[in-house]
C-alpha cells in the first residue's frame, strides 16, 4: 500500500503550528506549582507533569528517534512516558503515574525544551520528510487532546482538595438569560458523514473519522440548544435519580453504588458548583456538564426524548461554522446560549454532547500503519461517542467529523447533551 502524501504547503506550515501548540501547553501549566503538577486524583486522570512529558515523548519517540543513530534524552523515560503503545515497549502503569516524583517538574520542562530544540534543528535543516511531517501534524493534534485533559484532570484534582482551590481566579463570568428550546426538523435522508482518509485529503482528521461514507438517517428533530442546568435541575426535582425506570441497568447500578444524586462538582444544596475558578454559583441557563452517558440518557428519557445518533449530529453540524466557546476564549466553563439566534446553537464548544452511538469502526476503516495504529482503533469497545468539543477544547482542533469517546460512567470531562426526537 502506498504511503499517503502530505501537501508541501502543509509541511511549510508545520514549524509555526508546532511552536504554537507547544507554547500553549506551557501556558496552561503555568498556574500550577510543582506539587499541583504531580497530583493524580483517580485512575482515569493523569498528573499535569505527565501530560507535559508524554506529549514531548511522542515527538521524541515517533519523529526524532526514527532517525538512525538517535541518542535519547534519557532512555529510561521511554518507559515512564509511554502511554499505551504496546508495540513500542512496556510502560509504567497508568494508575501509578502520580507516584513518579522524579523527574521533577523542572526536569520535565527542561525535557520539553530539549525536544523542542532538537525539533527546531530538524525544521531548520529541512530534514522533515513527508512521513515525518505526517507524524508531526498528528503529534500536534495529540498534544491538543492532552491540553484538554490537563485542564479536566487538574479540575478533578483540585475538587478533591478540601480547600477547593482555583486553577485560575481571573476567569470571567458571562451572565445569560433563558433561551427557549425550539426543535429543528430533518427529513429522512441518506447523508455522508466522516472524513476522507488523511493525509491524502490534506485536511487533518484522525483515522477513526474515516472513511467518508453514506448513512440512512430517519426523520427526526434536534433541540436548538444543549440541555441547561435549569433543565437538569427539573429532572432532579422530579426524582430523576430515584426512578429506576428512567435508567439503563448499568446506569442504575452505578447510581446506587456511587450514590449519584446530581452532576459531578455540584454542591449538595444545588446552588454552587466547582469550576476551574473555584466554587461559583450555578448559572441556571448555561449548559449542564460533567454528566455521564447514563445520566444524559436518563434525562432524555425523562424529557420524552432521546440522545441523537452521531450521524444525526454530524448532519446538522456539517453546515455550521466551527464557532463557540472554546479554550481559546479563556472562560473555561460553559456559557448560556446567545439570545435571539435562530437555528441550532452551541453545536461546537461549551460542552461535549453525548450521542447514542457506540464508538466503533466505520465501514472500510483502516488504522494508521505501525505503532500509531494503536492510537484509536483498539479502543473501539465499550465506549460511546461525544461530539462538538467543549470550553476546554482548542478551537482549531475541532471539525464536524471529530469523534470523541469515553466509557459510559465518565463524568470528569465537560460532557453534556442535546435532545433528539423521532418524527413518526
Domain ranges, residue 126: 8-160
Q: How high is the pLDDT of residue 406?
A: 98
In angstroms, the CA 234 to CA 164 distance is 27
8 pLDDT above the threshold of 70: no
In angstroms, the CA 155 to CA 415 distance is 14
Q: Partners of 193 in the beta sheet?
A: 213
* Same domain for 283 and 142: no
On the CB side of 364, CA atoms within 13 Å amount to: 10
Query: Considering 160, 193, 225, which residue would you say is the last residue of a domain?
Result: 160
The pLDDT tens digits for 22-49 are 999 999 999 999 999 999 999 999 999 9
The pLDDT tens digits for 354-381 are 999 999 999 999 888 887 887 888 889 9
- Going by C-alpha positions, the residue among 316, 305, 333 that lies closest to residue 231 is 305
Q: How many residues does this entry show for the chain?
A: 424
* Same domain for 189 and 42: no
CATH of the domain at 337: 3.90.1580.10
Query: Considering 126, 145, 160, which residue would you say is the last residue of a domain?
Result: 160
* Same domain for 230 and 137: no
In angstroms, the CA 146 to CA 141 distance is 9
* Same domain for 89 and 220: no
C-alpha cell at 63: 519523529
Residue 173 lies in a domain: no
Neighbours of 342 (CB within 10 A): 8
* Same domain for 337 and 202: yes
Q: Which residue has the cell 507535559?
A: 52
Residue 178 lies in a domain: no
Query: Considering 160, 192, 227, which residue would you say is the last residue of a domain?
Result: 160
Q: Partners of 278 in the beta sheet?
A: 275
Cis peptide before 392 (omega within 30 of 0): no
Residue 87 lies in a domain: yes
Cis peptide before 25 (omega within 30 of 0): no
The 8-class DSSP code of residue 178 comes to: -
Q: What percent of the chain has pLDDT over 90?
A: 87
Pair 398, 284: CB distance under 8 Å: no
Residue 174 lies in a domain: no
* Same domain for 356 and 256: yes
* Same domain for 203 and 155: no
* Same domain for 127 and 187: no
> What are the backbone dihedrals phi and psi of residue 354, each rounded to the nearest 5 degrees, phi first?
-60, 140
* Same domain for 395 and 269: yes
* Same domain for 114 and 197: no
The pLDDT tens digits for 250-280 are 999 999 999 999 999 999 999 999 999 999 9
Residue 38 lies in a domain: yes
CATH of the domain at 153: 1.20.120
Least confident of 106-110, 309-313, 337-341: 337-341
- Going by C-alpha positions, the residue among 6, 24, 29, 4 that lies closest to residue 397 is 24
pLDDT band at 3 (very low <50, low <70, confident <90, very high): very low
> What are the backbone dihedrals phi and psi of residue 363, each rounded to the nearest 5 degrees, phi first?
-60, 125
Q: Which residue has the cell 459510559?
A: 408
Residue 168 lies in a domain: no
Q: Partners of 420 in the beta sheet?
A: 222, 306
Residues 6+ apart with CB under 8 A from 191: 214, 215, 217, 311, 314, 315
* Same domain for 135 and 280: no
C-alpha cell at 378: 483498539
In angstroms, the CA 65 to CA 72 distance is 7
* Same domain for 240 and 155: no
In the 3-class helix/strand/coil scheme, how is 283-347 assigned residue by residue? CCCCECCCCCHHHHHHHHHHCCCECCCHHHHHHHHCCCCCCCCCHHHCCCCCCCCCCCCCCCCCC
The domain total for the chain is: 2
Residue 415 lies in a domain: yes
Residue 236 lies in a domain: yes
Neighbours of 398 (CB within 10 A): 22
Amino acid at each position: 500500500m502506498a504511503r499517503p502524501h502530505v501537501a508541501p504547503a502543509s509541511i511549510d506550515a508545520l514549524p509555526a503550528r508546532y511552536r504554537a501548540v507547544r507554547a500553549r501547553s506551557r501556558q496552561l501549566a503555568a498556574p500550577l506549582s510543582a506539587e499541583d503538577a504531580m497530583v493524580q486524583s483517580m485512575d482515569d486522570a493523569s498528573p499535569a507533569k505527565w501530560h507535559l512529558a508524554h506529549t514531548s515523548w511522542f515527538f521524541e519517540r515517533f519523529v526524532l528517534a526514527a532517525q538512525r543513530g538517535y541518542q535519547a534524552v534519557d532512555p529510561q523515560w521511554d518507559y515512564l512516558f509511554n502511554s499505551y503503545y504496546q508495540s513500542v515497549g512496556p510502560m509504567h502503569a497508568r494508575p501509578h503515574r502520580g507516584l513518579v516524583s522524579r523527574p521533577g517538574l523542572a526536569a520535565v520542562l527542561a525535557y520539553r525544551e530539549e525536544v523542542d530544540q532538537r525539533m527546531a534543528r530538524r525544521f531548520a535543516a529541512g530534514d522533515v520528510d513527508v512521513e515525518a511531517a505526517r507524524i508531526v501534524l498528528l503529534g500536534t493534534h495529540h498534544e491538543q487532546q492532552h491540553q484538554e485533559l490537563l485542564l479536566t484532570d487538574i479540575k478533578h484534582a483540585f475538587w478533591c482538595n478540601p480547600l477547593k482551590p482555583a486553577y485560575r481566579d481571573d476567569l470571567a463570568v458571562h451572565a445569560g438569560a433563558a433561551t427557549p428550546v425550539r426543535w429543528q426538523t430533518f427529513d429522512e435522508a441518506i447523508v455522508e458523514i466522516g472524513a476522507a482518509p488523511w493525509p491524502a485529503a490534506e485536511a487533518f482528521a484522525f483515522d477513526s473519522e474515516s472513511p467518508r461514507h453514506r448513512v440512512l438517517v430517519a426523520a427526526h428533530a434536534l433541540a436548538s440548544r444543549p440541555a441547561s442546568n435549569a433543565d437538569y435541575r427539573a429532572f432532579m426535582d422530579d426524582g430523576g435519580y430515584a426512578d429506576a425506570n428512567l435508567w439503563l441497568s448499568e446506569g442504575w447500578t452505578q447510581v446506587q453504588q456511587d450514590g449519584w444524586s446530581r452532576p459531578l462538582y455540584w454542591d449538595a444544596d444545588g446552588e454552587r458548583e466547582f469550576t476551574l475558578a473555584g466554587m461559583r454559583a450555578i448559572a441556571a441557563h448555561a449548559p449542564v456538564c460533567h454528566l455521564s452517558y447514563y445520566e444524559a440518557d436518563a434525562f432524555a428519557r425523562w424529557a420524552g426524548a432521546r440522545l441523537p445518533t452521531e450521524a444525526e449530529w454530524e448532519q446538522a453540524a456539517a453546515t455550521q461554522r466551527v464557532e463557540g466557546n472554546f479554550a481559546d476564549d479563556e472562560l473555561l466553563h460553559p456559557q448560556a446560549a446567545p439570545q435571539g439566534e435562530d437555528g441550532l446553537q452551541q453545536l461546537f464548544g461549551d460542552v461535549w454532547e453525548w450521542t447514542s452511538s457506540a464508538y466503533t469502526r466505520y465501514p472500510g476503516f483502516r488504522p494508521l500503519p505501525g505503532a500509531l495504529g494503536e492510537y484509536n482503533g483498539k479502543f473501539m469497545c465499550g465506549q460511546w461517542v461525544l461530539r462538538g468539543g467543549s470550553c476546554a477544547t482548542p478551537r482549531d482542533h475541532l471539525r464536524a467529523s471529530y469523534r470523541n469517546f469515553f466509557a459510559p460512567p465518565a463524568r470528569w470531562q465537560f460532557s453534556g447533551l442535546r435532545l433528539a426526537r423521532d418524527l413518526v
